Amino acid sequence: MGFETIDSSKLKQLLGAAKQCDILHAHASKAHTLGVFLKLLTKKPLVYTRRVDYKQKKISKLKYLLTDKVVCVSDFVKQILYANYRLDSDVIYDAVDHSLIHKVNAQKVSEIKKHYGPVIIGNIGALTAQKDHKTLIDAASQLDKSYTFLILGEGNLKQELEVYAKQKGITNIVFLGFRDDIQNYLAAFDLFVISSQNEGICSSILQAFLFKIPVVATNAGGVSELIGNNQRGLIAPIKDYKALAQNIETLIHNKQISKDLCDQAYQFSNYFSLKNITNQYKLIYEKITITIVSLFLLVNFS
């Protein structure tokens, strides 16, 4: 993409780069801490995008007070931030890359379908506790063994999850690890499912919307903001593997419901284009810049 990267441990280089910036923008907790440090040294404004729905530590409030603008990726994350710190923030959802559709390799998709079909249920996400893959495995134990569950992603729970599936006697779950051609798997999925306990927004659901894949999900974090009241997919309570399994069966067997949900979801995904989300961030940057200029004029001419 043409971006220069700097190792976060090289503070001298980071400081030099920060001095050349007009605005600092952090996207993760550790980056936020580093951003506050650089802001104090350079006097540059700081934007932070919060992407997770965990409750923040009280000691972290100072970071937020020193941040010029906080952006949350969902209303749910915004509400948690306000409840914990009484801080207002803006909401800008994550974007979905519409160009993924044009990167699909039809031959690869055909190979995936031939190898794993006839019904492929996909899941994309890190193998971590928040994604709660055990509930997905439990749901798989309730379903037809002819379905294949493809789980894409890496994480420290991979071995534990493989053992758990084996203990449950589930042989139709395949842990594929990281894949750099995710678009081919999306195009091959017959259904997309997540079983998370925590989610800021879940960009993988947006990808499924874009590819017109029926979605089943647990009601974690900002997920309901994407799916609505079962308008663009079906939602099950967190950790309710039986409800998750029932929703999977519904969308596999009722093609009309699946089609209606997918059509609504695809139209909805247009809002999350890179252009639209980028423009929202540009407005944030412009407002910050105008505020700084106004303060400068006020200080120098008052």
Q: Tell me if the bond preceding 45 is cis, omega within 30° of 0.
A: no
Spatial contact of 50 and 81, defined as CB atoms under 8 Å apart: yes
Give the span between the Cα atoms of 102 and 187, in whole angstroms.
11
The candidate with the shortest Cα–Cα distance to 54, out of 222, 216, 219, 178, is 222
Identify the structural domains of the chain with CATH numbers, from first to last: 11-95+273-290 (3.40.50.2000), 98-270 (3.40.50.2000)
* Exposure b/e, 29-61, CB count within 10 A at least 16 = b: beebebbbbbbeebebbbbbbbbbbeebeeeee
Give the span between the Cα atoms of 73 and 85, in whole angstroms.
17
Give the span between the Cα atoms of 80 and 87, in whole angstroms.
10
pLDDT the model gives residue 298: 45
pLDDT the model gives residue 2: 60
Q: What share of the chain is helix, strand, coil (3-state, %, to 5)?
A: 55, 15, 35
Give the span between the Cα atoms of 234 and 250, in whole angstroms.
9
Give the span between the Cα atoms of 139 and 236, in whole angstroms.
11
pLDDT tens for the 302 residues of the chain, in order:
567 788 888 889 999 999 999 999 999 999 999 999 999 999 999 999 999 988 778 888 999 999 999 999 999 999 999 998 999 999 999 999 999 999 999 999 999 999 998 999 999 999 999 999 999 999 999 999 999 999 999 999 999 999 999 999 999 999 999 999 999 999 999 999 999 999 999 999 999 999 999 999 999 999 999 999 999 999 999 999 999 999 999 999 999 999 999 999 999 999 999 999 999 999 999 999 876 544 444 444 44
pLDDT the model gives residue 60: 87
Spatial contact of 200 and 52, defined as CB atoms under 8 Å apart: yes
List the end-to-end C-alpha distance of the chain, in Å, as a whole number.
Answer: 45
Q: In angstroms, what CA-CA distances link 211 with 82, 141, 145, 235, 246?
A: 34, 27, 25, 19, 23
Strands 173-177 and 215-218: unpaired
The candidate with the shortest Cα–Cα distance to 38, out of 81, 3, 68, 61, is 68
pLDDT the model gives residue 54: 83
Q: Which burial class, exposed, middle or buried, applies to 121 when counting CB atoms under 10 A from its CB (0-12, 13-18, 19+)?
A: buried
pLDDT the model gives residue 297: 43
pLDDT the model gives residue 251: 97
What's the length of the chain?
302
pLDDT the model gives residue 173: 97
Q: In angstroms, what CA-CA distances link 9 with 6, 31, 33, 279?
A: 8, 11, 13, 32
Spatial contact of 123 and 133, defined as CB atoms under 8 Å apart: yes
